Every structure is written in structure tokens, then in C-alpha cells.
């Protein structure tokens, strides 16, 4: 009998849509900063693979919700609005980093 090694699902890429100053003050470890006001201009370069699982966050979930909706409209397949930075850090069990 042949068996297959199962691979765990890929960890999502955390995308913080707050301003660079907000991001520097504290962000989920491993997150990238793609401010909402730069999303249209920088999205293709920052997020070239539309199949990558994405979790978006901001201060409250409002900006990340708008960004998630826009990304889905652009064809990104796995986009989740994680809400606040603290909520995403807790859910993904990642620390919050400064700088």
C-alpha cells in the first residue's frame, strides 16, 4: 500500500493595511505593510500570487474589510478580513513586533 505525506496548509500571509507609522508602532510578526491608500498601486508587486492565502488586518477591521473586498474583486482567491492587529496575532499565535 502506497501512502502520501500530507502537507499542512500554507500559513497565510498577513497583510497590514494601516499606514507605515501605525505599522512601525506594532504589527503581527511576519506581516507585510500594504497601506490601503497604496493598495491599487502596489498590489501586483507586493502580492503577485493570487492563490496565496491572505489575512488582512488594521486597527479595527474597517480598512482591512475594504481591502479584502477590493482584493477579491481583483481575483485573489483566499482573502480573509482578520480584523484588528491584536486579534490576528492572537488567532495565528504570533507575537506583535515593533519597528
Cα gap 27→19, rounded to integer Å: 11
Bridge partners (DSSP) of residue 64 are none
Helix (H) or strand (E) run with residue 58 in it: strand 54-58
Query: Does the active-site annotation cover 57?
Result: no
Among residues 99, 84, 88, the alpha carbon closest in space to that of 25 is found at: 99
Is 28:88 a contact under the CB 8 Å cutoff?
Answer: yes
CA-CA distance, 66 to 29, in Å (whole number)?
Answer: 22
**Residue among 15, 31, 43, 58 flagged as catalytic:** 58
Residues labelled as active-site residues? 58
Amino acid at each position: 500500500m502506497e501512502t502520501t505525506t500530507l502537507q499542512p496548509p500554507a500559513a497565510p500571509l498577513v497583510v497590514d493595511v494601516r499606514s507605515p507609522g501605525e505599522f512601525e508602532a506594532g504589527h503581527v510578526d511576519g506581516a507585510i505593510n500594504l497601506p490601503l491608500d497604496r493598495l491599487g498601486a502596489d498590489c501586483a508587486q507586493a502580492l503577485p500570487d493570487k492563490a496565496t492565502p491572505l489575512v488582512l488586518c488594521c486597527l479595527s477591521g474597517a480598512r482591512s474589510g475594504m481591502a479584502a473586498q477590493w482584493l477579491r474583486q481583483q481575483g485573489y482567491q483566499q482573502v480573509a478580513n482578520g480584523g484588528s492587529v491584536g486579534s490576528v496575532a492572537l488567532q495565528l499565535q504570533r507575537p506583535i513586533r515593533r519597528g
